[in-house]
Structure 1
Amino acid sequence: MARKIGSRYTANQILGRGSAGTVWLGEGPDGPVAIKLLREDLASDQELVGRFVQERTALLGLEHPNVVSVRDLVVDGNDLALVMDLVRGTDLRTRLERERRLAPEAAVAIVADVADGLAAAHAAGVVHRDVKPENVLLDMQGPLGPGGAHPALLTDFGVAKLIDSPKRTRATKIIGTPDYLAPEIVEGLPPRAAVDIYALATVLYELLAGFTPFGGGHPGAVLRRHVTETVVPLPGIPDELWQLIVQCLAKAPASRLRASELAARLRELLPMLTGMPPLDVDEPDDTDPAQEPREELPERTPAPGGDGAPRRGAVPLVPGARPDSNRDTHTSMRVPAPDELAGGAHGTARAPRTPGAPRPGSARNRAAARRRRITLSVAGLVLVAAVGAGAWWATSGDAPASEPQDTRHSAPSTP
């Protein structure tokens, strides 16, 4: 059902639902647009509406081929909406769910496009704060790039900042998608441009591996890994690409590249990636040693029309894309205390497991552990029985009746 958005726009069809609101296919004075209508509870927050208006100039002034431009901001009664360019294609999450992982050349080309968009935003003083595959759109009508990659555009600039108001998130709260949060955000520091570089490097790792470097399990465990653990190497990619990923996933923000540097370095690596197939790695276990076994954790909602495997929800902004799986990827959590961040496993993050090996915490893993315990118990009983038999033999009638007297310290006898 169509609805009016302000005096100039009409929302005709829902394209998707995200944690911040609903995306509509709309019509404006200059043709089709995408309209992100924020949730009613956000629209009723007068402080947020004020921040929304204050950000108007910065958001409307961000123009770049790899950024989905915001055309207008609408504040009308209970409606709070961003009117954006309509990108005809799909989002990166949808492609990743379909293909599981991308060939290195295509993955690097897509991430280089996004880095170019971030470079323009950072130069304008805008930090995205929620870089993830759901917020990367692939323009199916644009020219194909290296590896057959469609042009990539970053969307939803400013949404995280608008929602993350002092009233809504006190100093003891953090907002973001756990898998992509930089360590400094977990530790409660203000987000700078470097947080977008960390998140984008996480996206690149995910495109290559099929999983994020620190994801899996309870969100609290994911946050701890960002702070305490190191990233697991990916086999089969050039060392130059791996070192670039490691540098951009550095715990210290100052050690990471700037967005323009990252884009240039990635494009320099494209020739050596030509023709490389997707990596052949198995997914790591999804559990944290300090958490309950995976079977006892709540199941994630499968994506509609999928194969039943747990999927992350997508927030499509384009016609023809299916709605997301209602998974709220934008999470508000308490900032962990230093002792909590120091707890748990240290060292290397979840290593990709050997194909066919049981996952730690799985039913197969627990069954194998039980078999090992039973084997050890039986071996212990056999050992005890053997020791007992030896003792019985030593005290039985078959043993010598007496032992010679030890006279080494006896006194001389008297006549």
Structure 2
Amino acid sequence: MAIATTDPLLGRLVDGRYEIVARVARGGMATVYRATDRRLDREVAIKVMHPHLADGVDGAAFVSRFRREARAAARLTHPGVVAVYDQGVDGDTSYLAMEYVPGTNLRRELHTSGALTLGRTLDVLAQVLAALAAAHRKGLVHRDVKPENVLVVGDGEGDVAPDAAVKVADFGLARAVTEVTTTTTGTVLGTVAYLAPEVITSGSCDARTDVYAVGVLAYELATGTLPYAGETPIQVAFHHVHEDLPAPSGRVDWLPGGLDALVGTFTARDPALRPADAGVALEAVETLRASLDPEVLSRRAEPAGPRAAEAAGPAAPGALAGGAEGTDVAEGTDAVDEIPTAFFQEVSPSAPSQPTDLLVEQPTEVYRRPSRRRRAVAWALTLVLVLAGGGLGTWWWFADGPGAWTSVPTGVAGVPADDARTTLERSGLDTTTSRAFHDDVPEGSVVTTVPAPGDRVRTDGSVELVVSRGVQMLTVPRELVGADRKDATAALKDAGFSVGEPTDAHDDEAPRGEVLDVSVAEGSRQRHDTVVTLTVSDGPAPVQVPQEVGKEKDAAVADLEGLGLVVKVGDPEYSEDVPKGHVLAQDPEQGATAHRTDTVTLTISQGPPLVEVPNVVGKRSEPARKALEKAGFEVKENAYLGGLLDTVRFQDTTGEAPKGSTVTLTVW
């Protein structure tokens, strides 16, 4: 019989703002929900950390670390990183509000499709490294790079293109969780398959640790399986510490040696032999891709062994939100992600176990009345135990009881950092400093503290002062004018600016979509919240073609050119109706809509056509008139002596003449 369970968070309004709609995925650290941000009316992902992480003595420490890491992740802005919008604590619920990413993740893609093509593998690695490079430049380390934390962006309806973009999720959360679980449970959370040797042996971590994980990811994407799939976490960790990662071509023989070299460099056991950070590693990936033949890039490995995705367990299907690092909505196991901290001291699968309990049996004695001496000894022992108990109680009071805690002083936010530091030191608290941009708090003054003012902190603890760096200023990219609107918009967004709706303007020379002007000076420094507006060409302005037929040629040309139109004069034609030198026809015709710089073709009249003039000299006036009129001429007569003999003696036009012209006859 199936037992239906109801998630108590479904339908709940978290922090008075986020309405939980559906559960998307559940993993070792958190459960991810799809939610609606009622304040901004947008869909978000809410990542709710498991309550047990905030339980116990170290619960406050976890909440403090969780807030600090969330703030650090929120400062990271990059197209390849899942954006962190908000963080908070609602009762016992510690949550992150993150960008909702429809689609799937790499674990699901590996589970369903096996290995990726070599070209797709290098594309994914390049996108992941670009995101990590942005983090490394800001001093942030991911610490938990794995397929579950690489989201494949879909189209919002569940469909994922073969070349879909990817986004990296969960920056900083591994650190916040690991610091707590290491001290409270003796277990380090992380995916052992991707852990660098230095993490396993000493817990140290820097940008090169992320590069190592990307090297393992490269092996998995190209071959379809992990290097040590199917082995226990202890065995896998032993391999990472004591052995070099096997070459991908050892499993798939056609894979190029360049990939072997790339994976070998990324996963060098000595961190000093790896690329210094993700930016350097990205250059290596791009160089390798440029050197490979397109036919090789299109190939996909078909390894004989089981796929790594099957060995690693199920992944969350459908739309993922902000990095679902575990299973889908069904409960999953996290055993593969846990390593006892004792293992960090000595990695040896054959180390003998030591007994931890010793059972001692005491024989039963027959009761005897204690002697006076024995009574005195008993009282003395009782006194010692009472005193010892008092000492232990005192020690507990100041070591872990109420006496071990105090409150962070209030009144330190908004004051200069030196003054705040003095206030805290007077309360016996050590201080550390971090810096963050802030729009309202002046540079050098305290934005807040971690823990927050009024929160509990150990008397021997440390308070982090978050000091304002002032308003964040960004540099406006250059060469925006003359660029395509889409390229200019992308450049501005990559620089961190918001881009407003463009302003359209007609321009005779700039093609449609080309940037004509920017609302701020290129190369200038502007506030991060400046909305940049682009003025974009809408091409030449529209005009209505006027009527030019019948006008004299020069006047017609002047009219059209005055409207920004280009005039082309075609071959002239004869016309009995339109005078010579005037416009006989135009294309486009009157009333048509054109645009400035469009061409209008004019046909100019040559006047009437030339025809042969009949020779009527010697003819009687009447037949002469009829012959000329029949040929298309007008006839004028000059009669001498009253036209006594009625004979044409002279005509003023012979040969050819324009049809319709006048021929004068002299008759006498």
TM-score, structure 2 as length reference:
0.45
Cα shift at 1:94: 0.4
Q: Which amino acid aligns with 2:105?
A: D
Partner of 2:266: 248
Partner of 1:164: 178
Question: Given the alignment, which residue of 200, 203, 208 partners 1:194?
Answer: 208
Question: Given the alignment, which residue of 57, 62, 75 partners 1:48?
Answer: 62
SS of 1:186 mapped into structure 2: helix
d(CA) in 2 for partners of 1:113 and 1:150? Answer: 11
SS of 1:207 mapped into structure 2: helix
- CA-atom RMSD, angstroms? 2.8
Question: Given the alignment, which residue of 105, 109, 113 partners 2:123?
Answer: 109
1:324-353 alpha-carbon deviations (Å, 9 max, x no partner): 661315314234366644869xxxxxxxxx
Question: Given the alignment, which residue of 321, 329, 338 partners 1:331?
Answer: 338
d(CA) in 2 for partners of 1:229 and 1:284? Answer: 22
Cα shift at 1:228: 1.1
Question: Given the alignment, which residue of 141, 154, 159 partners 1:127?
Answer: 141
Q: Which amino acid aligns with 1:262?
A: A
Q: Contact conserved, 1:26 with 1:35, CA < 8 A, in 2?
A: yes
SS of 2:142 mapped into structure 1: coil
- Work out whether 1:313 is the aligned partner of 2:317: no
SS of 2:94 mapped into structure 1: strand
Q: Provide the aligned length of Structure 1 versus Structure 2.
A: 319
Q: Contact conserved, 1:108 with 1:270, CA < 8 A, in 2?
A: yes
Partner of 1:277: 299
Cα shift at 1:267: 2.2
Q: Contact conserved, 2:121 with 2:221, CA < 8 A, in 1?
A: yes
Cα shift at 1:10: 1.2
Q: Contact conserved, 2:31 with 2:47, CA < 8 A, in 1?
A: yes
Q: Which amino acid aligns with 1:264?
A: E
Q: Contact conserved, 1:139 with 1:152, CA < 8 A, in 2?
A: yes
Partner of 1:34: 45
Cα shift at 1:48: 0.5
Q: List aligned pairs for 1:15-414, cutoff 5 A.
A: 15-28=24-37, 29-30=39-40, 31-44=42-55, 45-141=59-155, 148-165=162-179, 168-169=182-183, 173-233=187-247, 234=249, 235-257=253-275, 258-271=277-290, 272=292, 274-275=294-295, 276-283=298-305, 310-315=311-316, 318=319, 323=329, 326-328=332-334, 329-336=336-343, 340-341=347-348
d(CA) in 2 for partners of 1:71 and 1:334? Answer: 33
Cα shift at 1:152: 1.0
SS of 1:37 mapped into structure 2: strand
Structure 1 56/22 Cα, relative in aligned 2: closer, same or farther at 3 Å?
A: closer
Higher normalized helix content (fraction of residues): 1
SS of 1:15 mapped into structure 2: strand
Partner of 1:409: none
d(CA) in 2 for partners of 1:73 and 1:156? Answer: 13
SS of 1:85 mapped into structure 2: strand
d(CA) in 2 for partners of 1:74 and 1:154? Answer: 22
d(CA) in 2 for partners of 1:285 and 1:114? Answer: 22
Q: Contact conserved, 2:229 with 2:311, CA < 8 A, in 1?
A: no
1:228-271 alpha-carbon deviations (Å, 9 max, x no partner): 12222222122222201100010011111120122222123334
d(CA) in 1 for partners of 2:48 and 2:201? Answer: 31
The answer to which of 240-249 and 172-181 deviates more is 172-181
**Percent of counterpart pairs with the same letter?**
31
Q: Which amino acid aligns with 2:315?
A: A
Partner of 1:410: none
Q: Which amino acid aligns with 1:116?
A: A
Structure 1 46/168 Cα, relative in aligned 2: closer, same or farther at 3 Å?
A: farther
Structure 1 242/168 Cα, relative in aligned 2: closer, same or farther at 3 Å?
A: closer
Q: Contact conserved, 1:312 with 1:325, CA < 8 A, in 2?
A: no
Q: Contact conserved, 2:70 with 2:172, CA < 8 A, in 1?
A: no
Unaligned runs of 5+ in 2: 1-9, 352-668
Q: Contact conserved, 1:134 with 1:316, CA < 8 A, in 2?
A: no
The answer to which of 328-337 and 148-157 deviates more is 328-337
Structure 1 104/42 Cα, relative in aligned 2: closer, same or farther at 3 Å?
A: same
Cα shift at 1:169: 3.1
Cα shift at 1:76: 1.3
Unaligned runs of 5+ in 1: 287-302, 304-308, 345-415
Q: Give the greater-gyration-radius structure (CA).
A: 2
Question: Given the alignment, which residue of 23, 46, 67 partners 1:14?
Answer: 23
d(CA) in 1 for partners of 2:307 and 2:320? Answer: 35
The answer to which of 239-248 and 315-324 deviates more is 315-324
1:134-166 alpha-carbon deviations (Å, 9 max, x no partner): 000011239xxxx94211111011111111225
Task: Identify the structure with bigger relative contact order (alpha carbons < 8 Å, sequence gap 6+).
Answer: 1
d(CA) in 2 for partners of 1:112 and 1:16? Answer: 26
Q: Which amino acid aligns with 2:280?
A: E
